[in-house]
Amino acid sequence: MATYIDTPSRTFNEYLLIPGYSTSECTPDKVDLTSPLVRYKRGETPTLRLNVPLVSAIMQAVSGDRLAIALAKEGGLSFIFSSQAIEAQAAMVRKVKMHKAGFVTSDSNIKADQTLAEVVALKEETGHSTVAVTDDGSAHGTLLGIVTSRDYRVHRMRSDTPVSSFMTPFSELVWADESITLTEANDLIWDHKLNTLPIIDKEGKLVSLVFRKDYDSHKEHPLELHDEDKRLLVGAGINTHDYRERVPALVESGADVLCIDSSEGFTQWQSDTIAFIRERYGDRVKVGAGNIVDRAGFRFLADAGADFVKVGIGGGSICITRETKGIGRGQASALIEVAAARDEYCEETGIYVPICSDGGIVHDHHMTLALAMGADFIMLGRYFARFDESPTNRIFLNSTYMKEYWGEGSNRARNWQRYLATKEKKLVFEEGVDSYVPYAGPLRDNVGVTLAKIRSTMCNCGSLTLSQLRKNATLTVVSSTSIVEGGVHDVLPKDTHTFSTP
C-alpha cells in the first residue's frame, strides 16, 4: 500500500515570521549574510563561502557570463548553464575568471604593422580602449607597446596609419615582471599615475595586464566574491550523461564549483556522476546535487558525497513538472523537512552539508522565509531573468518592457540531456514553458534592495547572522483570509486609478 503524508504540502506564501526581541545592536548594517557553499566538518571553515546567500539558476535564460560577473561582484554566485556545447560553456566560465582577475589576460591585441582602422574595429568588437601591441598580435606575444584612446584621433589621422607610428612603445612603458603581487602592482599604478600596468615574463612576453579601474571597482563592491588570486568565483552546471567529457573541460576552464542540473535527483545517475568526480579529483572538485524534496533524498545525496543539496521540485514559475507528471512538493514543506535532515546528518556524522532552496520564490520576503526555514542559500531563476545582465532579449510588449524567460524543460531550451528524450533527440513532453517576465533594470540596484529587506527582517527577528535567524525564528501558518489582509485592501491606490475633476 502506498505511503500517505496527511499534512498539507505548504508554500512560502502560507507562512509569516513572528518578530522577536531586538537589541539596540541589531541594525541592518551589522547583519552578516555569509553562508557556506560546500560541505565541511563541524568546527572547521568551509573551503567555499558565499558573501550573500543568492545563486542564479542553471538556465539558458538566466546564467550567462555577463550575469555571472555582475552577481559575483555583489557577493553571490552563478552556475553557467549546461544545455550548450561543452566548449561554449567552458568559454563562458573562462570569461568570468578572466574578467576581474586583478591580473587580466589581454583580450584586445594587435600587431605593430596593422592600422588605425583595425584598432578602431577591435575597440568596437571588444568594447575595450586599451590594446596590447605584440609581435604576433596574440595575448602572450612579445610586448612591443600599448595603444589607448589617448594615442590617436580618428578624425585627424588616416585610417591606414600603422600602429607602430602612434603606439606608446615598450621603452616608454612602466611594466612589472610576473613575480609582482597584486598589492605591489596597484602601488605601482598609483605611484606612476597609470591606467594600465603590463606584466611580462623573463623573455619579454606579455603575461597579463593590471588596470586601475579594477581596483576602483573592487572598492565599489566590498562583498565581491573572489578566490585567493582575486578572480571572481563562478559555478557551472553539469548533467548525468556527458559528465565524463564536460567535467574535465569545466575544471580546466577554472570553474570553482559544479552542480548537477536535474529536475529529480534521487537517482543512481547522480550518485554515479558524483562517484566519477570523486574517483578522478578526490575532494578538490566541489559538486552539488539534486533536486530532492524529503529526508530520504537528502540522505542519499549526502551519503553519495554531494557538497551541497538542492531542494525543490515543481516550484519554479516556469516549471510544470507537478501538473505534467504529478510529482513534487510545496517548497516550504520540502525545505523544512530537508533542513531537519541536514541537522540530523551533521549530528550523526560531524559533516555539515549545506542545502539550497530552489524554486517557489515569488516575493523578496519569501527569501527571508526560506533562510529562516533552514536554507543556507537560495537559487533563483525568474528573479535574475528580469535584469539587464541576463542573456535574453528585452522587448516592448503591451506598453511595457519585458524580458524573455523559458524553462530548461521547455522545447525552446532543447535540453535533451536534462530530461529523458527519444533517440531522435525529441522531447516527448515538456516540463517547462516559454514566457516573459517584467524587465527590472540593473542587477546591482535590485539585489541591493532585496538584501536590504532581508537584513531588515533579520533584525526584526533579533538575528545578525543566518545561523541566528534559523535558531531564533518563529514562523506561523497563515489563512487565506490573512494573506488578503496582508496586502493592500479596502482602498483605491493612487497609482492605478485616474480621477477627473468636475
Q: Is the distance from CB of 411 to CB of 81 less than 8 angstroms?
A: no
- pLDDT over 90 percentage in the chain: 75
**Is 418 one of the catalytic residues?**
yes
Matching residue, cell 599604478? 189
Q: Is the distance from CB of 451 to CB of 52 less than 8 angstroms?
A: yes
Q: Is the distance from CB of 23 to CB of 460 less than 8 angstroms?
A: no
Cell representation of residue 472: 531564533
Residue 212's pLDDT is what? 84
Q: Is the distance from CB of 374 to CB of 356 less than 8 angstroms?
A: no
Residue 223's pLDDT is what? 95
Which of 49, 418, 455, 459 is flagged as catalytic? Answer: 418
Mean pLDDT of the chain: 91
Q: Which of 81-85, 288-292, 325-329 has the lowest mean pLDDT?
A: 325-329
pLDDT in tens, 405-458: 987 877 676 665 555 544 555 666 767 778 899 999 999 999 999 999 999 999
Rounded mean pLDDT, 288-301: 97
Statement: residue 180 has pLDDT above 80: yes
Q: Which of 356, 352, 401, 359 is nearest to 380 (CA)?
A: 359
**Is 319 one of the catalytic residues?**
yes
Which of 319, 356, 459, 461 is flagged as catalytic? Answer: 319
**Burial class, 423, CB count within 10 angstroms (exposed 0-12 / middle 13-18 / buried 19+):** exposed
Integer Cα distance of 134 and 108 in angstroms:
11
Query: How many residues are given for the chain?
Result: 502
Statement: residue 501 has pLDDT above 70: no
